[in-house]
Amino acid sequence: MTESAPVDPTTTEGWKTLAGIADGFSPDLRGWFDSDPGRAEQYTFQAGDLTVDLSKGLVTEEILAALLQVAEATGVAERYQAMISGEHVNPTEDRAVLHTALRRPKGGELTPAAPFVVDGQDVDADVHATLDKVYAFAEQVRSGAWKGVTGKRIETVVNIGIGGSDLGPVMVYEALKPYVQAGIEARFVSNIDPADIYEKTADLDPETTLFIVASKTFGTLETLTNARLARQWLWEKLGLTDAADDAKNDAVAKHFVAVSTALDKVAAFGIDPENAFGFWDWVGGRYSVDSAIGTSVIIAIGKENWQDFLAGFHTIDEHMRTTPLAQNVPVLMGLLNVWYSNFLGAQSHAVLPYTQYLHRFAAYLQQLTMESNGKRVRWDGSPVTTDTGEVFWGEPGTNGQHAFYQLIHQGTRLIPADFIAVANPARPLKDETGDGKAVEPGQDVHNLFLANFFAQTKALAFGKTADEVRAEGTTDEAIVAARTFTGNKPSTSILAPALTPSVVGQLIALYEHIVFTEGTIWGIDSFDQWGVELGKQLALQIAPAVDGDADALASQDSSTKALIAKYLELRK
């Protein structure tokens, strides 16, 4: 099944209107708020538990109407329906894209209706069969029924993966640490740098450690290299280096499981294929955290919390499916990103969670957004007609305030920013002493924290005029200029009740569908990632040269040859 040619967004009436507005565009958030007392209410929307305030964005009714025209003309709603129905919206790999099926609940009134069969596969049945298998295994580990080779219960789970097989699980584990069962810890190894596997295992007890090797094909170079190093570590620490193969294999079978569909390779490694949990070609790595790739997190937080996590995803999936475009939060956020990047020159996008538990969220979004929409051709192979993709980056507040906020506030680049906060912290504390100045004794620290969240978006939007600086007593005009903030820096505020499993799922799904919206408008295949392949291929070709093969070294370009030669000279 082949997708029809994408609509060129630049030919739509909405795009032409936006181009006209952008010509000489001079935003005035102060003026817009002053003239419209209902602006905040007009541009604040609800998606599940997420309250999303777009009012401090550079948007007017005219701009929003034109953006919605672009969404309608490029078929955002229709293509989303095609995606969730199992059509092959990943044409370069001729695949369906069904990460939304990973969180469809059992039974009930579903769209598409259950049973959901795609390419001859009963998707719902397969997804829930795998989930049930993972739940049963996780419960064995959590209860202590699963024991290591010496009869001790598992205390540490080490997930070995890379890309989506690492970024998703580690982000969610960190986000949901308050829900982790006492006595169980998860660690994550991804980098082929030997320092990673060394540091993650250096203080572990092999008798109480379980490794999860996450690789769909069981052939990812980094993952399998680290898996072999972990196996060596296990044998060495258990005193099995020179033991018989049966003893070694028994240890591996008790201390290794896999997330993979390549059962022959899993078995060859020494893992019992019964302890391999699969997922499907229609799940891209960066969309896979809610599949068996999340096994390490399921062990840590348990079945019920994981089900809440999946329900959060499904809530936003349904919001995306059923909500008109004009109130559809992921669509609106995606449209604003298009406005900022294609018309106002923004090249990057900051994501700033005011909750420490989301400290890996920006890193997770980097893969989701940039691997998805970092494309130069459309899904029919023709060149794109617009700039595509944004550089996503960020750190938790208030850390970022003392690092890069200066650039966002007073730099010359337009950097839209998403601020994320929760009303109820998992670990509330009071500063009983205070500082005798701004912080009173008994200060609720979360209130102080969130005051920064509210203040930063206000400062970005409204800035500080030269007259306001002068009114504070500054008379040196050079200092006045330095202390003036232009404002009109766009931000989106996302506020949730608490960082529950459901809310984390909602946040992930929100950004998945923002990516989808942008990709559809740009006419690109957001679900392949051919751009990651070339470097991998060249690394395999270069490896012999790095190992000292003179002929392989001689075949390299002059720069690469000189760098390798210098490396070999320096290597002791």
Residue 569 structure tokens: 């000279």
User: 155 an active-site residue?
Assistant: no
CA 280, 189, 139, 249 dihedral sign is positive
SS3 call for 443: strand
H-run or E-run covering 187: strand 185-189
DSSP assignment of 132-146 equals: HHHHHHHHHHHHT-S
Which range is least confidently modeled, 142-156, 167-181, 310-324, 541-555?
541-555
When pLDDT is averaged across residues 548-563 and rounded to a whole number, the result is 94
pLDDT above 90 for 560 = yes
pLDDT above 60 for 209 = yes
pLDDT tens, position by position, 456-479: 999 999 999 999 999 999 999 999
**Which residues, at least 6 apart from 185, have a Cβ–Cβ distance to it below 8 Å?**
155, 156, 157, 300
Q: What is the pLDDT of residue 533?
A: 83
Which range is least confidently modeled, 176-185, 521-530, 533-542?
533-542
Q: Which of 174, 371, 390, 518 is catalytic?
A: 371
When pLDDT is averaged across residues 486-510 and rounded to a whole number, the result is 98
Q: Which of 106, 458, 536, 566 is catalytic?
A: 536
When pLDDT is averaged across residues 157-183 and rounded to a whole number, the result is 97
- % of the chain with per-residue pLDDT over 90: 96
The sheet with strand 391-393 has its strands ordered as: 44-47, 50-53, 491-498, 417-424, 348-354, 391-393
Q: What is the pLDDT of residue 15?
A: 98
Q: What is the pLDDT of residue 2?
A: 53
How long a stretch of residues is the chain? 572
Q: What is the pLDDT of residue 249?
A: 95
Q: What is the pLDDT of residue 561?
A: 94
Mean pLDDT in the chain?
A: 96
Q: Which of 78, 304, 402, 533 is catalytic?
A: 402
- Closest to 286 measured CA to CA, from 207, 394, 365: 365
User: 133 an active-site residue?
Assistant: no
Beta strand pairing call for 156-160 and 209-214: parallel
**Which residues, at least 6 apart from 83, have a Cβ–Cβ distance to it below 8 Å?**
89, 96, 97, 98, 100, 516
pLDDT above 50 for 1 = no
Residue 572's pLDDT band (boundaries 50, 70, 90)? confident
User: 72 an active-site residue?
Assistant: no
When pLDDT is averaged across residues 397-421 and rounded to a whole number, the result is 97
